[in-house]
Amino acid sequence: MGDQAVFESPHELDFPYSRSLGPTLSAFMTGLRDGQITGTRGDGGRVIVPPTEYDPISSAPTEGSVNVGPGGVLTSWTWIDKPKPSHPSDKPFAWAMVKLDGADTAMLHILKAPSADGIASGMRVSAQFRPEAERVGCMADIAAFIPEEGS
Amino acid sequence: MSEAREPVTMLSTPIHLDYHFVAGDSQSKTLQGYLEGKFIGQRCEVCGKVYVPSRGSCPTDGAPAREVVELPNTGTMTTYCVVNVPFAGQNVEIPYICGQILLDGSNISFMGLIQEIPASEVRMGMRVEAVWVPEEELTPSLASVRYFRPTGEPDADYDSYKEYL
Amino acid sequence: MSKFPELTSGSRPIAVVSFAQAKAVRADIAHNEVEMLLPVFGELFAKAGITKDDLNFICSGSTDYLIGGPFSFVMALDAIGVWPPKPESHVEMDAAWALYEAWVTMQEPGKDVSLVYGFGKSSLASDLGKVLALQMDPYTMAPLWPDPTSVAALQARALLDAGLATEEDFAEVAARNRRNALKNPYAQVARDDDLATLMAEAYVASPLRRHCLPPITDGCSALILVAGERAYDFSDNPAWITGIDHRMETHALGARDLTQSPSTERAAVEAGVAKGGLDLAEIYAPYAHQELILAKALGLGADTQINPSGGALAANAIMSAGLTRIGEAATRIMSGEAKRAVAHASAGPVLQQNLVAVLEGAR
């Protein structure tokens, strides 16, 4: 049969999902739409951000909604010099873990800065929200975190 | 501060993923066959069954099915379904018939479109033949086969296809 | 001498009697998943001297996300032959967890011989990192599309910030694993790197350089488990699973201390890792810094050789790489090269789930 072709073809998947949030995440996403980051209280009153329905260690139900941020501390980061098409920024940026003021856990988002120089864990950063008209109730309502003045 | 609004209860999370599908060595033999206007299957080295499309392995024995077999254009329609329900993207006029085609010399049926016969006259055991697209339109896919139509031969004996239902 | 080593986990002694794997490659363009598995099963059954008719149970690990299609594991059964029908199961996880399911199932007498296998073609996704970002929380994290390398880099940064490791330590792990892989004919990336060259590489996601990352791999592996004395019908020196356990971390990334692996520590205790010496450890650490975290969590001493196979930095066939760690450890027990070994598998970009197995030879 001679040299035989092995065939390939492109295969694209689209899942246009909408997810129902439930009360805990609804409070969080509603807060984001309204320009406020919130968490919930777990064991010993520790504030979990983003909120979870149950305490991550004990599995006891969490309670209430607590305002946190918009400023906080960078607890970890990674500089992405060559963003992928799937990344939330097309210019170089950092992924960031941010422990917001009032929170006891860190939240994943992105940090925009001119370069990796001057980024260090422990620095203060602040959430930059999108304009009110663009916010719908999702993590992208925060456009990015940026270094706080004087950081 | 905005006036109080309804809480957000839903989150839209659209997902788009790109892959490439790799047919692999065996399936490619069938696909190459379509490109050449023929049906290609492969035979199991243990039980001797011929599978089309070819799949490289016999699902019964787990043994390689490597021997290449060219199959004729004729076969028996073992069973069928008359489609009456319209759906988005449908490009065949309803009602139309989906048939399971058992090509002569093969041991597994596959789905094909049946045309050139009113839905009310279709029956199990009907002898059919493939109608291919013009040579310049052949591609390495089942789309190279436009449809199957009755040959006019007497219906196949039930015993000849009852194992394949 | 006792036929079976003392068990920490379970009540029935269960052993690995045969293991086989495909050579790990960047992309196996000529073969689909069934065609990759067929020769591996052939080799496996021949080595063990069995046919599919001897099997009581079949369990596999794979994921639809790699192939982009539903029920993708079903086609793999073509490579085994499904008549007469057998009890069969599947986990949407690395096949190390399929082994765990088989081990649990085999605690019941009558379920004596199992086939466990894993497979995956990571080459099919145009952007593997994007597909794997879907492992993260679907509400608060996945919509940002954080790929595993980015998330792993956050963990590596945390290690540096805590003073627990240096970037040179990461390079040393990478160099040592890929050097070990020179002796492994199934490994994909095997070479002798010098540290200065590695440290001169640019960051991919700081502080991770290219050498800290696993390769993208198409591959598969399989093994046979047998319960009780019958294992000696298939192997002179079966690799007995004396302990096995798996635990997971909280899903909430920011609620974890990424520099530690408490789930691995707990699984190690439950599996009885510290009950004896360890000749070797096969650890599933796809990112170089993770080996440091896991070696500590497993309590490994300086006399335990880590990843003689080269580990995941040399070949990362997602969905079978964890099973392969168990298989590589088992192979060295069966050959007599090692008497007692620990094998580890993980799932998730920052060690969200961890499985620990202790394997021992009785001879």
pLDDT digits (tens, 9 = 90+) for C214-250: 999 999 999 999 999 999 999 999 999 999 999 999 9
Residue B69 class from Cβ within 10 Å (0-12 exposed, 13-18 middle, 19+ buried)?
A: middle
**At C341, which amino acid appears?**
A
A64 part of a folded domain: yes
B138 min Cα distance to partner chain A (Å): 15
Which partners does chain A have (≥3 C-beta pairs < 8 Å)?
B, C
Q: Which residue of C has its CA nearest to A110?
A: C144
Give A62's Cβ-side CA count (13 Å radius): 24
B29 min Cα distance to partner chain A (Å): 8
pLDDT digits (tens, 9 = 90+) for A59-102: 999 999 999 999 999 999 999 999 999 999 999 999 999 999 99
Residue ranges of chain B whose pLDDT lies below 50: 1
pLDDT digits (tens, 9 = 90+) for C159-183: 999 999 999 999 999 999 999 999 9
Which partners does chain C have (≥3 C-beta pairs < 8 Å)?
A, B
Q: Could you give the number of structural domains in chain C? A: 1
In the sheet where A47-48 sits, what is the strand order?
Answer: A47-48, A37-41, A63-68
Name chain C contacts of B22, Cβ cutoff 8 Å.
29, 31-32, 121, 123-124
Cβ–Cβ below 8 Å for A28 and C140: yes
Q: Which CATH number do you get for residue C23?
A: 3.40.47.10
B68 min Cα distance to partner chain A (Å): 9
Question: What pLDDT was estimated at residue A150?
Answer: 67
Count CB neighbours of C361 within 10 A.
Answer: 24
A93 part of a folded domain: yes
Query: Which residue in the set B11, B15, B55 is minimally distant from C34, CB to CB?
Result: B55
> In which domain, by residue range, is A63 found?
22-147
pLDDT by position in tens, chain C (length 363): 568 999 999 999 999 999 999 999 999 988 999 999 999 999 999 999 999 999 999 999 999 999 999 888 999 999 999 889 999 999 999 999 999 999 999 999 999 999 999 999 999 999 999 999 999 999 999 999 999 999 999 999 999 999 999 999 999 999 999 999 999 999 999 999 999 999 999 999 999 999 999 999 999 999 999 999 999 999 999 999 999 999 999 999 999 999 999 999 999 999 999 999 999 999 999 999 999 999 999 999 999 999 999 999 999 999 999 999 999 999 999 999 999 999 999 999 899 999 999 999 998
Cβ–Cβ below 8 Å for C143 and A11: no
| Residue A116 forms contact with C (CB below 8 Å) | yes
End-to-end CA distance of chain B: 68
A3 part of a folded domain: no
CA distances from B81 to B46, B73, B111 (A): 33, 21, 10
Which 105-144 residues of chain B touch chain C by CB within 8 A? none
Asked whether the beta carbons of C90 and C100 are under 8 A apart, the reply is no
pTM: 0.95
Q: Which residue of C has its CA nearest to A98?
A: C254
Cβ–Cβ below 8 Å for C150 and A95: yes
| Element housing B102 (H / E) | strand B96-103
Q: Which residue of C has its CA nearest to B29?
A: C30
A75 part of a folded domain: yes
Q: Could you give the number of structural domains in chain A? A: 1
Cβ–Cβ below 8 Å for A79 and C205: yes
Helix axes C148-161, C288-297, angle to 10 degrees: 60
A113 part of a folded domain: yes
Which partners does chain B have (≥3 C-beta pairs < 8 Å)?
A, C
Asked whether the beta carbons of A124 and A71 are under 8 A apart, the reply is yes
